[in-house]
Amino acid sequence: MSAALKTAKTLYKTPALVTHRIRCGKRTCHCATGEGHGPYWFLHWREGTVQRRRYVRHADVPAVRTMIERRRRDDSENRLAVALATVNLRRLRAWLRDLDPTA
């Protein structure tokens, strides 16, 4: 598994897959005045106030994208499950209160 795919799979939160054009820094290069090199793919995420990124090789993009889509789907299913559990808990608490008003 590539380093980028591992990051996409195991980072504590799902990173974003984005493209950037890069300026190489050479003053005579076309990128100094025009479009940068690329686009290149990166994973982006935030750690506190720090924006982090990791380069994704072109060959790894499809697997990384699939991994991120899977995690997004899992995340939204988990959010839905938590929301439903919260509603059920609220109902259960109301029911318990009705049974024993001193609780």
Q: How many of the other CB atoms lie within 10 Å of CB of 87?
A: 10
Binding segment toward Zn ion, per CB under 5 A, in 9-17, 25-33, 54-62, 68-76 = 25-33
**Is the CB of residue 89 less than 8 Å from the CB of residue 72?**
no
Report the residue from 3, 29, 83, 94 that binds Zn ion according to the rule CB under 5 A: 29
Binding segment toward Zn ion, per CB under 5 A, in 21-29, 43-51, 53-61, 95-103 = 21-29
* Residue 2: closest CA among 64, 53, 51: 64
- Give the residues lining the site for Zn ion (CB under 5 A): 24, 29, 31
